[in-house]
Each structure stands twice: as C-alpha cells, then as structure tokens.
Amino acid sequence: MTALRARRQDNAGYLFLLPWFGGILFTVGPFLASLYLAFTDYDLLTPPRWAGLANFRAMLDDGRLHQSLQVTFTYTLVSVPLSLAVALGVAMLLDRGVRGLAIYRSIYYLPSLLGGSVAIVMLWRYIFGYQGIVNDFLAWFGIQGPGWNSDPRFALSTLILLHVWTFGAPMVIFLAGLRQIPAMYYEAAAMDGASPWRQFRSITLPLLSPIIFFNLVQSLIASFQTFTQGYVISNGTGGPAESTLFYNLYLYQKGFAEFDMGYASSMAWLLLIIIAGFTAINFLAARYWVFYDN
C-alpha cells in the first residue's frame, strides 16, 4: 500500500518534471556538443573535421582574441566591484528609515531594468558623443571633452559607467539584507562607543557578506558574457580600434559572421574555464570572508 503510493508519487514527480527533462536535454546535449566542436574544424556546411588542439593553438597567436580578453577583463574587474560598492553605499544611505524610501528606490532601480536594452546603449552613444550632454556639462567648466565613444582610450569607460548606472538590482538585494540585521546590534555597539565605521566593519559587513558574495558571483558570471553593449555601441565592429571588442562579440563574429564554428566553440570553452576558475576562486576565498550565522 505505501509502496504503491510511493511509486505513484515517483511517477507524478517525473510527470511534473517532463518539460524540465526536455529542457535538460536542450542544455546538456549542446553542452557536450560544444565540447566536441571545440576540437574540430566546422563551417556548418561540411561535416565537422577533427582538428585536435589546432583551435586552441591558433588562439595563442590571435591578437584580436587577446584584445577581446583584455577588454572583457578590464570591463569586468572594474565595473563589477565599482557597481557593487555603489549599490552597497546607496543601500546603506537608504536603510535607516529615510523618508521617501520607496521613491528613491524606484528611481535607482529603474535603470537596472533598462540598461541592457538597445535603446539605452544607443542613447549612451549620443550622451557621450562629441556633442552629447556630458560634453555640454564639461563645457560649463571650460573643458572641451572628446567624443568619448569614438576615442579608443575612453570608449570602454562609457560602458563601465553604463554598468554602474544599473546598480539598482544589487542595491535592492542589499536593502533586503540590511533590513534583516537586528537594530539592537547597532544600539549595543553604539553604547560601547563603536564609531560608525567600526559598526560597518564589525556588524554590517560580516552579516551582509553572504549577500555580497552571492551578488559578486552572479555579476562576475554575467559580466564576462557581456555582448549587447559592445555590439550596439560599435554597431557590431567592436571599435573604435577594437576598444569595445568584448569576448562574446568576437565569438559572435567568428562563429556567425565567419562561420568558423569550431573556433567559436573552443572560444566558448576557454571563457567557460575562465568563468569557472573565477567562481571557484570566489568560493575558496569565501571561507575567509563570508560569515554564515548558522
């Protein structure tokens, strides 16, 4: 009787998971296929030919690949910590019963929903263009700014600022986390004469560290895969002078403009390994700075 019920529950569980099983096939199948394709020469028209390590060897001499790695690393390593720091800072300003919290939160949060859209990246081109409002603003101080997007030295910085502009999503998560810290911790610390900085270091940071960690891992993974911003700001070229040639933009050019799909697959795996490496380092380092209450 109970065995029958257990079997019936088994079957029901699998039935409910049926679409998800289909989705797993859609994920695991391509995952393995891309590993295979990474070691082949494949142009979509003729069957893949085994090429051994040729793709990976070619990467060593591929200057555009190195440039795209540099662009992606610079972007990620600057914009992720910067936007998380801003998010945390603003969340702390908003935390202690500010009047108008809901309005501030909405204003800061809205950009994070729009930041990935083509319209906003196009807008960024003009805001930071030679005649854009950023230069209008600088003109007040007698500074003539360059065309920020058309100058290879600055083009990537404008996209980093776009990333920072979307700090609202992690901010909302930080706000929810801050609210869970009991106020009496701060009261007790204040009574013992702890300065605000000391309170931040000894109460806020440790208790918020699991959430900071979660945000850090997620933002790094997402940021390494940036595509739309680079594509739209440069109209697909990665210019000027390859300064916005994000890794995935180059992968797209290789795979879907040149149809060198073997090479694109090996690029995909290189990035996967990089992301996995960063995530692993994150998890290892977490032992030393992430504090779990229970």
Partner 1 sequence: MTTDPAGPRRFLRHVLLCGAGVVMMYPLLWMISSSVKPSARVFTDESLWPATWDLGNYARGWSSLAEPFSLYLVNSAVIVTLSIAGNLLSCSLAAYAFARLRFRGRQVFFALMLGTMMLPGHVLVVPQYVLFDRLGWLNTYYPLLVPHFLATNGFYIFLMVQFMRSLPDELDDAARIDGCGPFRTFWKIIMPLCLPAFATTAIFTFIAVWNEFFAPLLYLTDPQLYTVPLALRQFMDSEGQSQWGEMFAMSFVSLAPVIGFFIAGQKYLVKGIATTGLR
List the interface residues with partner 1, window 87-116 (CB under 8 A).
Answer: 90, 93-94, 98-100, 104-111, 113-114, 116
Q: Quick one: CA dihedral 183, 188, 194, 195, positive or negative? A: positive
* Least distance (Å) between residue 136 CB and partner 1: 5
Residues whose CB falls within 8 Å of the CB of residue 235, separated by 6 or more in sequence, listed in order: none
* Least distance (Å) between residue 37 CB and partner 1: 6
* CB-based contact 249:271 (threshold 8 Å): no
Position 124 contacts partner 1 (CB under 8 A): yes
List the interface residues with partner 1, window 163-182 (CB under 8 A).
Answer: 165, 169-170, 172-173, 175-177
List the interface residues with partner 1, window 215-234 (CB under 8 A).
Answer: 215, 217, 221, 224-225, 227-228, 231-232
d(CA 163, CA 40): 36
The footprint of partner 1 on this chain (CB under 8 A) covers a number of residues equal to 88
Single residue of 26, 50, 289, 291 touching partner 1 by CB under 8 A = 26
In three-state secondary structure terms, 117 is coil
Position 50 contacts partner 1 (CB under 8 A): no
- CA distances (Å), 183 to each of 89, 232, 291, in order? 18, 46, 18
Alpha carbon 250 to its chain's center: 17
Q: 49 has which bridge partners?
A: 41
Single residue of 43, 49, 77, 136 touching partner 1 by CB under 8 A = 136
Position 235 contacts partner 1 (CB under 8 A): yes
d(CA 293, CA 200): 17
Single residue of 10, 43, 187, 258 touching partner 1 by CB under 8 A = 10
* Least distance (Å) between residue 21 CB and partner 1: 9
d(CA 147, CA 181): 46
- Closest to 90 measured CA to CA, from 185, 181, 222, 178: 178
* Listed ranges 12-20, 62-70, 183-191, 199-207: which one lies at the site for partner 1 (CB under 8 A): 12-20
List the interface residues with partner 1, window 59-78 (CB under 8 A).
Answer: none
